[in-house]
Amino acid sequence: MRLLDLSVQGRPGVRGHLALMLALSRSMPLLLSIFMIQRGVTLQQLEERLLMIAEITAKSRNQRREREKRRRLQAIGADNA
């Protein structure tokens, strides 16, 4: 982390923050797996947890899309009436 912080110091403002966020977002899967393994979670258990989170996220996203679609269709129907 310290090296990442040092690499961003020469870049003021938004650019530096963006560089930091991109580097962190790319390294998070590796960091997550390291921390979970240290806690005794096997790679298979980690994979099962990640798949479960992905399923929940996809279901939530699809429900949100359906709500938005219904709202748009209702708005179109109200405009045509």
- Render pLDDT for 53-81 as a digit per residue (tens, 0 to 9): 999 999 999 999 999 999 999 988 877 76
Contact 26, 39 (CB under 8 A): no
3-state secondary structure of 39: coil
Report the C-alpha gap between 23 and 33 in whole angstroms: 16
Is 37:56 a contact under the CB 8 Å cutoff? no
pLDDT at 7: 60
- pLDDT given at position 17: 76
For the segment 26-55, what is each residue's pLDDT rounded down to a tens digit?
Answer: 888 888 888 888 999 988 998 898 899 999
